[in-house]
Structure 1
Amino acid sequence: MTYQTDRLRDLVAAELGRARDRTTLLTEAVDDGDLTRQHSPLMSPLVWDLAHVGNQEELWLVRDVGGREPVRRDIDELYDAFKHARSNRPALPLLGPGEARKYVATVRDKVLDVLDHAPLEGSPLVDRAFAFGMIVQHEQQHDETMLATHQLRAGAPVLNAPPPPAPAAPVTGEVLIPAGPFTMGTSTEAWALDNERPAHQADVPAYWIDRAAVTNAEYAAFIEAGGYDDPHWWSTAGWDHRQAAGLTAPQHWQRDGDGWLATQFGRTTRITGEEPVVHVCYHEAEAYAAWAGKRLPTEAEWEKAARWDPATGRSRRFPWGDDPPTAAHANLGQAHLRPAAAGAFPAGASPLGVHQLIGDTWEWTSTDFHPYPGFTAFPYREYSEVFFGPDYKVLRGGSFGTDQAACRGTFRNWDYPIRRQIFSGFRCARTA
């Protein structure tokens, strides 16, 4: 038991360090002016995210798990995401860049000491290091949010990464997923969050699902066919939003003669036709699917395509199996700063040949965010429960900006259907 506990402590320390390295990269790539500036009313200043991840780490690991004295109780309200809308955060008396860096470093030192002494078993909060895993995922989620802020930032490029791999072979067409039940969600994944639990049977009628996400070239064809001008393809809410927001193309696209340019992290280039379209809202995805004679998959359809193994009937952790992602499986963790073309990760395909369900772009589903049967809020209602209802749509699969610690076949993301500053794309489905 001691050997296993020591290995778990080592894993937690490594994951905490990996998340902090990424936070440091994202916050030190810009000067203090960019750190404190609000780059979009939809996003917090980067310096708020920096101190917020430290504050959450202090609340859960230093105070709750460790039972230690507070580091900075006086700033709790400033970094409570429910008390201050993102648009209002620049007006708060936030910690400055130097102060924020000192604060998160102090908290981390205390957390590593707590980790050395915590039992990692017993109560649900510490069993299998759950609270530590929750904080790792929280920081990585904010790192993806900060990456999205970088995408909205004006100015010269400051982030660099190699291009994603080229496709091994083109991936087109659809796959038939046969009717029948499968195990959705999880009751065994150690760091799964409350909305992923519990595992339950979902009976899904037969359906077809695209082998790859909708590409830039396919989406451009929708635009050229007048898709943004014809209300026939849009829901009532979608058409109202298209008109009110003046949508004519994915966010960051610009006309260039008879083609399109896209700006990614300060670099403007011609779109790559084979790459998945990104920065589209739910309404745009839904309209494209209708124009293509299809629809968006339900959340259960998406998860069955990603996890169900037809040979054994069991649900895997990932499309390729139970092993964690590697660079050969998926485009994750900011290793590349854009989605990869369909077919770039053949090792990550599902048994039925559905590609890139993990990484590249978050994929919109048609399902409202709701609890699974038997859901229990843990360890606090504000993580999931307060968001349940028809206002939010579920996205699945992660993006090129999602870290593997916060991405698995059961992981659920959610957002307003009008949002597109996130790294969102989609694939289509149709009833068999």
Structure 2
Amino acid sequence: MLHRQMKSPRVDGDDISAKREELRAYFHQSYDLFESLFELLISDEVFYRQSEPTRHPMIFYFGHTAIFYVNKLVASGALRERINPHFEQLFAVGVDEMTWDAASDTLKWPSIDDVREYRKHVRTMVDELITSMPMSLPITQKDPFWAIWMGIEHERIHIETSSVLHRQMPLQFVRSHKDFPICPIQDVSPQNRLVGFEACDIQLGKGSGDHGLYGWDNEYGEHKAQVKAFQASQYLVSNGEYMEFVLAGGYTTPRWWDEEGLKYLQIRQALCPPFWVLQEDGSYKFRTLSAEIDMPLNWPVEVNALEAEAFCRWKSAQDGEVYRLPTEDEWAVMAQEGGVGEEFFDDTRSNINLAHAASSVPVDTFAHGRLYDVAGNVWQWTQTQMDAFKGFFTHPWYDDFSEPTFDGKHNLIKGGSWISTGNEILRSSRYAFRRHFIQHAGFRYVVGDGETESEKYARIEQMYERWKKRYG
């Protein structure tokens, strides 16, 4: 049975007692959902397996979100004594996403029972702090309560990213779960077409005094832009539409791939999207959280940015157009016209927030104006490299959340997926991943004046040089 998630509570208001209870409910719901996700693993032994060679064993992620609360509450000054200093160091740092290499698993991990007991201690501690810490409204970014919001929203990010790892775990190590049912609807994919948008001005970013909702530091600042006229695909690219590229030899034709994409193909030996499973007869099955099903041709394809860009180059050659990924600014224009929600995406009109399924649904299910799935179903890759808005400042309690991504090697994703919750389902949220990373992410293509390939790589190089000067 699906459990639609609470929306992230506002950090303002006038009733402190009610705010404490709202925050407490949000915290426990997040903690419960994260733990229920790990019930998909068939046994405790599976916690010590890597589902993907570049990531830690699953036990790391199970412990990581709990120690994060402790470490950020210590940083805020709200917590003076640690619960388990060894755990709070062991589970603190994930693998280096900047490398393509497999993660070495030489660490000695504790028993899963000890980690479960630790999670119980953290749950009790946070609950007690919600009751006992002095509260004044609105909660500001310097308030210790901000650290609790930070811990909850961090755990909700890991609900999403850990669900990807569950999909990558071999089938014999996972099982179905009543809280995570998949969509039963499959059909042929709809015919995609382009929809035009006129030129307009946009403004993005939160002011430093915006205390309505919790935000990560990269959401603050100001960004203004003049968006040129463009056309966007009505639907996200479906498995069926992407199948044409695969069957045309897309993964074995080097000219559709840039240098980074060719490196991905070489290292991963990829011949199809990551959640497609090639069968002996040449057909494909599709991997969900805990099962392989017949290929849902009308669900959105899930690929990394390199695969999405390769498809765009191939389709450009077929149609005589110049297709590309949209920019963050163009996505904002589509979201504004589509009426996806003023602050939060509307989960009654989007496959998001676990409101409809623990999987994608057909790409022609949820209309947002003239387009479908401007928000929800899967995240959407953009061609925008992650960078700071004017006026950005790093939050001192989490100084490595955003700044390491300002290197020209991380692309923004927008719109959220079926399992996105909390801050992830805000229009203002800004998340980015390395272009070879796999998430519940797909894409739509656009046509319009944009950067040439050479201009794009020149700008990326400038960003990277600026990042190197700052960080070495």
TM over 0.5: yes
2: CA distance, partners of 1:36 / 1:258: 33
- Secondary structure in 2 matching 1:214: coil
Structure 2 length-normalised TM? 0.80
Structure 1 distance, partners of 2:389, 2:62, is 32
Please state if 1:400 is matched with 2:429: no
- 1:26 paired residue number: 37
Check conservation: 1:26, 1:147, Cα contact below 8 A: yes
After TM superposition, give the deviation of residue 237 of structure 1 in Å: 2.8
Tell whether 2:356 aligns with 1:338: no
Displacement, 1:183? 1.8
Q: How much has 1:324 moved relative to structure 2?
A: 5.3
| Correspondent of 1:389 among 407, 411, 433 | 407
2:126 is aligned with 1:111:
yes
| Aligned partner of 1:93 among 88, 108, 117 | 108
| Aligned-partner Cα distance in 1 for 2:272–2:158 | 27
Amino acid at match of 1:145: T
Give the C-alpha shift of residue 90 in structure 1.
Answer: 4.0
Shift of 1:164: 3.1
Q: 1:113 to 1:171 in 2, by over 3 A?
A: farther
Partner of 1:270: 294
Which structure 2 residues correspond to residues 5-404 of structure 1 after superposition, within 5 A? Answer: 5-30=16-41, 31-61=43-73, 64=76, 66-81=78-93, 90-116=105-131, 117-121=133-137, 124-125=140-141, 129-156=145-172, 157-160=174-177, 161-164=180-183, 172-187=192-207, 188=210, 189-256=212-279, 257=281, 259-278=283-302, 280-293=303-316, 294-306=323-335, 308-309=336-337, 319-322=340-343, 325-333=346-354, 336-346=357-367, 349=368, 352-379=369-396, 380-404=398-422
Q: Quote the RMSD (CA, aligned, Å).
A: 2.9
- What is the aligned length? 418
Shift in Å, 1:49 = 1.2
Counterpart CA distance in 2 for 1:333 and 1:91 is 36
Query: Can you list the C-alpha shifts for 1:231-283, whole angstroms capped at 9, x where unaligned?
Result: 332223323432443221111323444642222234222211111001x1211
C-alpha distance 242-91 of structure 1, shift in aligned 2 (>3 A)? closer
For residues 373-416 of structure 1, give each alpha carbon's deviation from its aligned partner in whole angstroms, at most 9, with x where no partner exists.
11111133201112211122221222223224432212222222
Work out which of the residue numbers 436, 439, 446 in structure 2 matches 1:418: 436
CA contact (8 A) 2:343 2:427 kept: no
CA contact 1:63–1:70 (8 Å) conserved in 2: no
**TM-score in terms of structure 1 length:** 0.87
Structure 1: which 5+ runs fail to align?
Answer: 311-317
CA 1:61–1:381: 2 relative to 1, 3 Å: closer
Gaps of 5+ in 2: 1-11, 317-322, 450-472
Rounded Cα–Cα distance in structure 1 between residues aligned with 2:75 and 2:219: 26
Offset, 1:339: 1.1
Q: Is the 8 A contact 1:61 1:114 kept in 2?
A: no
8 Å contact 2:351–2:361 — kept in the other structure? no
Distance 2:241 2:278 in 1: 16
CA distance in 1, matches of 2:69, 2:145: 14
Q: CA deviation at 1:130?
A: 3.0
Which AA in structure 2 matches 1:290? Answer: R
Tell me if structure 2 keeps the 8 A contact 1:173–1:211. yes
| Structure-1 separation of matches of 2:95 and 2:250 | 40
- Counterparts in 2 of 1:55 and 1:211: CA distance versus 1, 3 Å: same
**Letter of the structure 1 residue corresponding to residue 38 of structure 2:** T
The alpha-carbon deviation at position 99 of structure 1 amounts to 1.0
Shift of 1:219: 0.2
TM-aligned CA distance change 1:140 to 1:334, over 3 Å: farther
Instruction: Give the aligned residue type for 2:386.
Output: F
Aligned mates of 1:51, 1:258 — CA distance in 2: 40
Deviation of 1:171 after TM superposition, in Å, equals 7.8
AA of the residue aligned to 1:164: C
Q: CA deviation at 1:371?
A: 1.1
Identity %: 23
Q: Matched residues in 2 for 1:118 and 1:50: separation?
A: 30
Q: CA deviation at 1:288?
A: 0.7
What SS does the aligned partner of 1:402 have? Answer: coil
| 8 Å contact kept, 2:181–2:357 | yes
> Partners of 1:149 and 1:204 in 2: how far apart?
37
